[in-house]
Amino acid sequence: MSSKIVADMNVSNRKLVFITLTAGDGSAGAASYAPSNVPFYLSRENGSVYSSKYAADLTTGTTPQDVPLVSTVTINGKNIAKYTYKNTVNYFLRLPDGNGNGTGFNNTGNQSLERLRGGTIAAMNVVGYTTSPPANGPAAYTYTWSQLTATIRQIILNERITGTQSWVQAASTNTGSYNTGDHSDHIYSSWAVQDAIAIAPALTWVGVNGFRDYNSSSFGANLNSVDHENASALFGLTNWGLIEAQYATNFNSGHKVWLPMDYFQVLITPSGMAPFAGGGNANETPDNGFAGKSPVTTEFTEIPMIVKTTGPAYVDKEFSMIISPYETGTLVTSVLTESGEKLFDQKTEITDKNAPLMVTLTHSIKAAGTYTIRNILNDKYSETRKIVVVR
Protein backbone atom coordinates (compact mmCIF):
# COMPACT_ATOMS: atom_id res chain seq x y z
CA MET A 1 0.00 0.00 0.00
CA SER A 2 3.07 2.26 -0.21
CA SER A 3 1.90 4.06 -3.35
CA LYS A 4 -1.33 5.12 -1.64
CA ILE A 5 0.54 6.28 1.45
CA VAL A 6 2.99 8.39 -0.57
CA ALA A 7 0.16 9.79 -2.70
CA ASP A 8 -1.80 10.77 0.42
CA MET A 9 1.26 12.43 1.95
CA ASN A 10 1.77 14.48 -1.22
CA VAL A 11 -1.51 16.33 -0.59
CA SER A 12 -1.08 19.62 1.27
CA ASN A 13 -2.09 19.80 4.95
CA ARG A 14 -2.38 16.06 5.42
CA LYS A 15 -0.78 13.79 7.94
CA LEU A 16 -0.43 10.03 8.14
CA VAL A 17 -1.13 8.16 11.36
CA PHE A 18 0.21 4.61 11.56
CA ILE A 19 -1.35 2.32 14.18
CA THR A 20 0.58 -0.96 14.47
CA LEU A 21 -1.25 -3.43 16.67
CA THR A 22 1.12 -6.41 16.81
CA ALA A 23 4.83 -6.45 17.53
CA GLY A 24 5.82 -8.85 14.74
CA ASP A 25 7.99 -10.63 17.27
CA GLY A 26 7.68 -14.07 15.67
CA SER A 27 7.30 -15.80 19.09
CA ALA A 28 10.27 -13.95 20.66
CA GLY A 29 8.05 -11.74 22.80
CA ALA A 30 10.21 -9.00 24.33
CA ALA A 31 13.39 -11.06 23.99
CA SER A 32 16.37 -10.82 21.66
CA TYR A 33 18.35 -13.65 20.15
CA ALA A 34 21.97 -14.05 19.13
CA PRO A 35 23.95 -12.29 17.90
CA SER A 36 21.75 -9.30 18.74
CA ASN A 37 21.00 -7.86 22.16
CA VAL A 38 18.17 -5.69 20.81
CA PRO A 39 14.66 -7.12 21.29
CA PHE A 40 13.53 -8.46 17.93
CA TYR A 41 10.20 -6.63 18.05
CA LEU A 42 12.02 -3.34 18.70
CA SER A 43 14.22 -3.78 15.62
CA ARG A 44 11.06 -4.12 13.53
CA GLU A 45 9.48 -1.12 15.24
CA ASN A 46 12.58 0.97 14.51
CA GLY A 47 12.42 -0.05 10.87
CA SER A 48 8.81 1.10 10.62
CA VAL A 49 9.79 4.48 12.07
CA TYR A 50 12.70 4.82 9.61
CA SER A 51 10.36 4.03 6.73
CA SER A 52 7.69 6.55 7.70
CA LYS A 53 10.39 9.19 8.33
CA TYR A 54 11.68 8.70 4.79
CA ALA A 55 8.17 9.04 3.38
CA ALA A 56 7.71 12.30 5.30
CA ASP A 57 11.05 13.70 4.10
CA LEU A 58 10.29 12.61 0.53
CA THR A 59 6.87 14.23 0.33
CA THR A 60 7.30 17.39 2.40
CA GLY A 61 10.49 18.48 0.67
CA THR A 62 11.85 19.78 3.97
CA THR A 63 15.24 19.25 5.57
CA PRO A 64 15.56 15.80 7.19
CA GLN A 65 15.67 15.87 10.97
CA ASP A 66 16.89 13.38 13.56
CA VAL A 67 15.02 10.11 13.95
CA PRO A 68 12.19 10.73 16.43
CA LEU A 69 12.47 9.37 19.94
CA VAL A 70 9.75 7.24 21.47
CA SER A 71 7.37 8.63 24.06
CA THR A 72 4.76 6.82 26.11
CA VAL A 73 1.19 8.14 26.01
CA THR A 74 -1.78 6.88 27.97
CA ILE A 75 -4.97 6.43 25.97
CA ASN A 76 -8.04 4.81 27.52
CA GLY A 77 -5.81 3.71 30.39
CA LYS A 78 -3.37 1.90 28.08
CA ASN A 79 0.31 2.82 27.80
CA ILE A 80 1.28 3.08 24.14
CA ALA A 81 4.57 3.84 22.36
CA LYS A 82 4.32 6.91 20.14
CA TYR A 83 6.69 8.55 17.65
CA THR A 84 5.97 11.89 15.94
CA TYR A 85 7.90 13.18 12.93
CA LYS A 86 6.78 16.06 10.69
CA ASN A 87 3.40 15.02 9.28
CA THR A 88 3.57 11.41 10.51
CA VAL A 89 2.58 9.81 13.80
CA ASN A 90 3.31 6.19 14.74
CA TYR A 91 1.53 4.28 17.50
CA PHE A 92 2.77 0.81 18.48
CA LEU A 93 0.54 -1.28 20.74
CA ARG A 94 3.09 -4.14 20.81
CA LEU A 95 0.65 -7.05 21.10
CA PRO A 96 2.22 -10.48 20.47
CA ASP A 97 2.55 -11.89 16.97
CA GLY A 98 -0.44 -14.14 16.33
CA ASN A 99 1.32 -16.44 13.84
CA GLY A 100 0.26 -16.63 10.21
CA ASN A 101 -2.66 -18.95 10.92
CA GLY A 102 -3.90 -17.08 13.98
CA THR A 103 -3.04 -19.74 16.56
CA GLY A 104 -0.37 -17.64 18.27
CA PHE A 105 2.89 -19.00 19.69
CA ASN A 106 3.36 -21.12 22.78
CA ASN A 107 6.15 -18.83 24.00
CA THR A 108 3.71 -15.90 24.26
CA GLY A 109 0.70 -17.83 25.53
CA ASN A 110 -0.90 -18.63 22.17
CA GLN A 111 -2.33 -15.14 21.98
CA SER A 112 -3.60 -13.66 18.72
CA LEU A 113 -5.98 -11.00 17.48
CA GLU A 114 -8.00 -13.70 15.76
CA ARG A 115 -8.46 -15.67 18.98
CA LEU A 116 -9.26 -12.46 20.86
CA ARG A 117 -11.97 -11.33 18.45
CA GLY A 118 -13.38 -14.85 18.26
CA GLY A 119 -13.66 -15.11 22.05
CA THR A 120 -11.23 -18.03 22.42
CA ILE A 121 -9.18 -15.86 24.76
CA ALA A 122 -10.53 -13.03 26.90
CA ALA A 123 -7.53 -10.70 26.69
CA MET A 124 -4.06 -10.11 25.25
CA ASN A 125 -0.95 -8.78 26.98
CA VAL A 126 1.64 -6.45 25.49
CA VAL A 127 4.94 -8.28 24.87
CA GLY A 128 6.99 -8.35 28.04
CA TYR A 129 3.89 -8.41 30.23
CA THR A 130 2.56 -11.91 29.49
CA THR A 131 0.54 -13.52 32.26
CA SER A 132 -1.51 -16.70 32.49
CA PRO A 133 -4.30 -16.14 31.86
CA PRO A 134 -3.72 -12.87 29.96
CA ALA A 135 -6.74 -11.26 31.64
CA ASN A 136 -4.72 -11.17 34.89
CA GLY A 137 -2.08 -8.90 33.35
CA PRO A 138 -1.41 -5.28 34.30
CA ALA A 139 -4.31 -3.10 33.17
CA ALA A 140 -2.14 -0.62 31.26
CA TYR A 141 -0.69 -3.45 29.15
CA THR A 142 -3.71 -5.74 28.74
CA TYR A 143 -6.49 -5.51 26.17
CA THR A 144 -9.87 -7.12 25.73
CA TRP A 145 -11.29 -6.82 22.22
CA SER A 146 -13.63 -4.03 23.28
CA GLN A 147 -10.74 -2.18 24.96
CA LEU A 148 -8.61 -2.60 21.85
CA THR A 149 -11.25 -1.22 19.49
CA ALA A 150 -12.09 1.61 21.89
CA THR A 151 -8.40 2.56 22.03
CA ILE A 152 -8.06 2.56 18.24
CA ARG A 153 -11.18 4.69 18.02
CA GLN A 154 -9.77 7.17 20.54
CA ILE A 155 -6.52 7.47 18.58
CA ILE A 156 -8.53 8.27 15.44
CA LEU A 157 -10.51 10.89 17.35
CA ASN A 158 -7.39 12.41 18.89
CA GLU A 159 -5.60 12.67 15.55
CA ARG A 160 -8.49 13.85 13.40
CA ILE A 161 -8.33 17.09 11.45
CA THR A 162 -11.54 19.07 11.80
CA GLY A 163 -13.63 19.40 8.65
CA THR A 164 -11.95 16.58 6.75
CA GLN A 165 -12.50 12.92 6.01
CA SER A 166 -10.03 10.19 6.91
CA TRP A 167 -9.07 7.00 5.10
CA VAL A 168 -7.72 3.84 6.68
CA GLN A 169 -5.38 1.68 4.61
CA ALA A 170 -5.60 -1.92 5.82
CA ALA A 171 -5.80 -5.50 4.62
CA SER A 172 -8.99 -6.48 2.84
CA THR A 173 -11.25 -8.61 5.01
CA ASN A 174 -12.75 -10.11 1.85
CA THR A 175 -10.70 -13.27 2.32
CA GLY A 176 -12.95 -15.59 0.34
CA SER A 177 -12.03 -14.32 -3.10
CA TYR A 178 -10.04 -11.08 -2.95
CA ASN A 179 -7.39 -11.28 -0.23
CA THR A 180 -6.77 -15.00 0.09
CA GLY A 181 -4.00 -16.57 2.15
CA ASP A 182 -3.09 -13.47 4.14
CA HIS A 183 -1.51 -13.37 7.61
CA SER A 184 -4.08 -13.59 10.40
CA ASP A 185 -2.74 -10.45 12.09
CA HIS A 186 -3.25 -8.44 8.91
CA ILE A 187 -6.86 -9.53 8.61
CA TYR A 188 -7.76 -9.03 12.25
CA SER A 189 -6.00 -5.68 12.50
CA SER A 190 -8.32 -4.62 9.70
CA TRP A 191 -11.33 -6.02 11.54
CA ALA A 192 -10.21 -4.14 14.65
CA VAL A 193 -10.26 -0.75 12.96
CA GLN A 194 -13.54 -1.50 11.19
CA ASP A 195 -15.09 -2.49 14.51
CA ALA A 196 -13.60 0.64 16.10
CA ILE A 197 -15.21 3.08 13.68
CA ALA A 198 -18.54 1.21 13.90
CA ILE A 199 -18.90 1.77 17.67
CA ALA A 200 -21.91 4.03 18.25
CA PRO A 201 -21.94 6.81 17.36
CA ALA A 202 -20.21 5.57 14.22
CA LEU A 203 -17.31 7.54 12.78
CA THR A 204 -19.00 7.93 9.40
CA TRP A 205 -16.29 10.32 8.18
CA VAL A 206 -13.73 7.48 8.17
CA GLY A 207 -13.39 5.31 5.08
CA VAL A 208 -11.50 2.04 4.70
CA ASN A 209 -9.51 0.74 1.74
CA GLY A 210 -8.89 -3.01 1.82
CA PHE A 211 -5.67 -4.22 0.17
CA ARG A 212 -4.62 -7.50 -1.34
CA ASP A 213 -1.57 -8.58 0.62
CA TYR A 214 0.23 -11.89 0.13
CA ASN A 215 -1.70 -12.98 -2.95
CA SER A 216 -1.07 -9.69 -4.78
CA SER A 217 2.06 -11.24 -6.30
CA SER A 218 -0.25 -13.52 -8.30
CA PHE A 219 -1.44 -10.47 -10.21
CA GLY A 220 0.43 -8.25 -12.63
CA ALA A 221 2.60 -5.31 -11.66
CA ASN A 222 0.51 -2.11 -11.68
CA LEU A 223 2.89 0.51 -10.25
CA ASN A 224 4.90 2.88 -12.40
CA SER A 225 8.66 3.04 -12.03
CA VAL A 226 8.60 5.90 -9.49
CA ASP A 227 6.04 4.19 -7.25
CA HIS A 228 7.98 0.92 -7.50
CA GLU A 229 11.20 2.69 -6.51
CA ASN A 230 9.46 4.32 -3.54
CA ALA A 231 8.00 0.99 -2.46
CA SER A 232 11.47 -0.56 -2.60
CA ALA A 233 12.99 2.27 -0.56
CA LEU A 234 10.27 2.16 2.08
CA PHE A 235 10.49 -1.61 2.43
CA GLY A 236 14.29 -1.45 2.46
CA LEU A 237 14.21 0.97 5.38
CA THR A 238 11.88 -1.27 7.38
CA ASN A 239 14.59 -3.89 7.00
CA TRP A 240 17.35 -1.51 8.06
CA GLY A 241 15.91 -1.80 11.56
CA LEU A 242 16.64 -5.54 11.40
CA ILE A 243 20.06 -5.19 9.81
CA GLU A 244 21.43 -2.61 12.26
CA ALA A 245 20.36 -4.88 15.13
CA GLN A 246 22.16 -7.85 13.49
CA TYR A 247 19.02 -9.73 12.46
CA ALA A 248 18.46 -11.30 9.05
CA THR A 249 16.90 -9.00 6.46
CA ASN A 250 13.58 -9.69 4.76
CA PHE A 251 14.71 -7.77 1.69
CA ASN A 252 14.86 -10.94 -0.38
CA SER A 253 13.21 -12.45 -3.45
CA GLY A 254 10.36 -13.88 -1.40
CA HIS A 255 9.33 -10.43 -0.23
CA LYS A 256 10.37 -8.28 -3.19
CA VAL A 257 7.73 -9.94 -5.40
CA TRP A 258 5.12 -7.78 -3.61
CA LEU A 259 6.79 -4.44 -4.38
CA PRO A 260 5.63 -3.72 -7.99
CA MET A 261 1.90 -3.80 -7.24
CA ASP A 262 -0.83 -2.32 -5.07
CA TYR A 263 -4.38 -3.65 -5.33
CA PHE A 264 -7.21 -2.44 -3.12
CA GLN A 265 -10.98 -2.13 -2.97
CA VAL A 266 -13.15 0.30 -1.02
CA LEU A 267 -14.58 -1.49 2.03
CA ILE A 268 -16.23 1.53 3.67
CA THR A 269 -17.03 4.85 1.98
CA PRO A 270 -17.01 7.88 4.30
CA SER A 271 -19.74 10.49 4.56
CA GLY A 272 -19.72 13.84 6.31
CA MET A 273 -16.72 15.50 7.93
CA ALA A 274 -14.77 15.05 11.16
CA PRO A 275 -16.18 17.15 14.01
CA PHE A 276 -14.15 19.66 15.98
CA ALA A 277 -11.26 18.08 17.85
CA GLY A 278 -11.25 18.21 21.61
CA GLY A 279 -11.99 16.19 24.71
CA GLY A 280 -11.36 12.46 24.62
CA ASN A 281 -9.92 10.09 27.14
CA ALA A 282 -6.22 10.64 26.47
CA ASN A 283 -3.69 12.45 28.61
CA GLU A 284 -2.66 14.74 25.77
CA THR A 285 -4.36 17.48 23.82
CA PRO A 286 -5.52 16.39 20.36
CA ASP A 287 -3.34 18.01 17.72
CA ASN A 288 -4.19 18.22 14.05
CA GLY A 289 -0.49 18.49 13.20
CA PHE A 290 -0.86 21.74 11.31
CA ALA A 291 -0.93 24.53 13.90
CA GLY A 292 -1.60 27.88 12.25
CA LYS A 293 -2.83 26.33 9.00
CA SER A 294 -6.37 25.92 7.79
CA PRO A 295 -7.49 22.31 7.30
CA VAL A 296 -8.40 21.12 3.84
CA THR A 297 -12.16 21.24 3.34
CA THR A 298 -14.21 19.84 0.49
CA GLU A 299 -17.85 19.48 -0.44
CA PHE A 300 -17.07 16.09 -1.99
CA THR A 301 -16.53 12.67 -0.49
CA GLU A 302 -12.91 11.66 -1.01
CA ILE A 303 -12.47 8.20 -2.47
CA PRO A 304 -9.44 6.50 -4.06
CA MET A 305 -9.71 6.39 -7.85
CA ILE A 306 -6.21 6.61 -9.32
CA VAL A 307 -4.67 3.14 -9.49
CA LYS A 308 -1.59 4.03 -11.54
CA THR A 309 0.00 6.89 -13.45
CA THR A 310 2.30 6.54 -16.44
CA GLY A 311 5.32 7.66 -14.48
CA PRO A 312 7.16 10.98 -14.63
CA ALA A 313 5.19 13.68 -16.45
CA TYR A 314 7.02 15.72 -19.07
CA VAL A 315 6.50 19.22 -20.44
CA ASP A 316 4.45 19.17 -23.68
CA LYS A 317 3.91 15.40 -23.46
CA GLU A 318 0.81 13.29 -22.85
CA PHE A 319 0.11 12.16 -19.30
CA SER A 320 -2.11 9.18 -18.52
CA MET A 321 -3.56 7.49 -15.46
CA ILE A 322 -5.60 4.38 -14.82
CA ILE A 323 -8.81 5.02 -12.89
CA SER A 324 -10.77 2.46 -10.89
CA PRO A 325 -14.31 3.87 -11.26
CA TYR A 326 -16.55 3.89 -8.21
CA GLU A 327 -19.69 4.27 -10.31
CA THR A 328 -20.69 5.13 -13.87
CA GLY A 329 -21.13 8.76 -14.85
CA THR A 330 -18.99 11.80 -15.63
CA LEU A 331 -15.42 12.19 -14.44
CA VAL A 332 -13.97 15.71 -14.53
CA THR A 333 -10.17 15.84 -14.37
CA SER A 334 -8.58 19.19 -13.57
CA VAL A 335 -4.95 20.27 -13.48
CA LEU A 336 -4.03 23.02 -11.02
CA THR A 337 -0.84 24.91 -10.25
CA GLU A 338 0.67 24.99 -6.76
CA SER A 339 -1.11 28.30 -6.15
CA GLY A 340 -4.46 26.71 -7.03
CA GLU A 341 -4.87 28.23 -10.50
CA LYS A 342 -6.78 25.87 -12.77
CA LEU A 343 -5.05 25.19 -16.10
CA PHE A 344 -7.74 23.06 -17.73
CA ASP A 345 -10.59 20.58 -17.24
CA GLN A 346 -11.22 17.37 -19.13
CA LYS A 347 -14.42 15.31 -19.05
CA THR A 348 -14.53 11.53 -19.40
CA GLU A 349 -17.71 9.43 -19.51
CA ILE A 350 -17.57 6.22 -17.48
CA THR A 351 -19.86 3.47 -18.76
CA ASP A 352 -18.51 0.46 -16.83
CA LYS A 353 -17.70 0.82 -13.14
CA ASN A 354 -16.01 -2.59 -13.01
CA ALA A 355 -13.43 -1.99 -15.74
CA PRO A 356 -10.21 -0.01 -15.20
CA LEU A 357 -10.28 3.17 -17.28
CA MET A 358 -7.29 4.80 -18.98
CA VAL A 359 -7.57 8.59 -18.91
CA THR A 360 -5.10 10.48 -21.11
CA LEU A 361 -4.92 14.25 -20.72
CA THR A 362 -5.46 15.83 -24.13
CA HIS A 363 -3.91 19.12 -23.00
CA SER A 364 -0.21 19.07 -22.24
CA ILE A 365 1.41 20.99 -19.40
CA LYS A 366 3.67 23.75 -20.69
CA ALA A 367 6.07 24.38 -17.80
CA ALA A 368 8.05 22.24 -15.39
CA GLY A 369 6.94 22.25 -11.77
CA THR A 370 4.61 20.67 -9.24
CA TYR A 371 0.92 20.40 -10.10
CA THR A 372 -2.23 18.89 -8.62
CA ILE A 373 -4.42 16.45 -10.51
CA ARG A 374 -8.01 16.59 -9.22
CA ASN A 375 -10.64 14.06 -10.26
CA ILE A 376 -14.31 14.71 -9.47
CA LEU A 377 -16.85 11.98 -10.21
CA ASN A 378 -20.52 12.92 -10.66
CA ASP A 379 -20.07 16.06 -8.54
CA LYS A 380 -19.99 13.77 -5.48
CA TYR A 381 -16.60 12.08 -5.17
CA SER A 382 -13.09 13.44 -5.50
CA GLU A 383 -9.42 12.53 -5.30
CA THR A 384 -6.36 14.76 -5.60
CA ARG A 385 -2.78 13.82 -6.29
CA LYS A 386 0.40 15.81 -6.81
CA ILE A 387 2.54 15.26 -9.90
CA VAL A 388 5.94 16.65 -10.79
CA VAL A 389 6.38 17.75 -14.41
CA VAL A 390 9.93 17.72 -15.75
CA ARG A 391 11.61 18.67 -19.01
H or E element at residue 54: helix 40-60
CA distance 173 to 188: 8
Contact 286, 157 (CB under 8 A): yes
CA distance 18 to 93: 11
pTM for this one?
Answer: 0.78
| Nearest alpha carbon to residue 134 among 77, 95, 79, 192 | 95
For the chain, 391 residues long, give each residue's pLDDT as a single digit of tens: 988 888 888 776 688 999 999 999 999 999 999 999 999 999 999 999 999 999 999 888 889 999 999 999 999 999 999 999 999 999 999 999 999 999 999 999 999 999 999 999 999 999 999 999 999 999 999 999 999 999 999 999 999 988 888 999 999 999 999 999 999 999 999 999 999 999 999 999 999 999 999 999 999 999 999 899 999 999 999 999 999 999 999 999 999 999 999 999 999 999 888 886 543 334 433 333 333 333 334 467 777 788 777 767 889 888 888 888 778 999 999 999 988 889 999 999 999 887 778 899 988 899 998 888 999 999 888 888 888 888 8
CA distance 208 to 129: 32
Which residue segments constitute the domains of the chain, with CATH numbers given? 2-297 (no CATH), 302-390 (2.60.40.1930)
The separation between CA 9 and the C-alpha centre of its own chain, rounded to angstroms, equals 10
Contact 129, 142 (CB under 8 A): yes
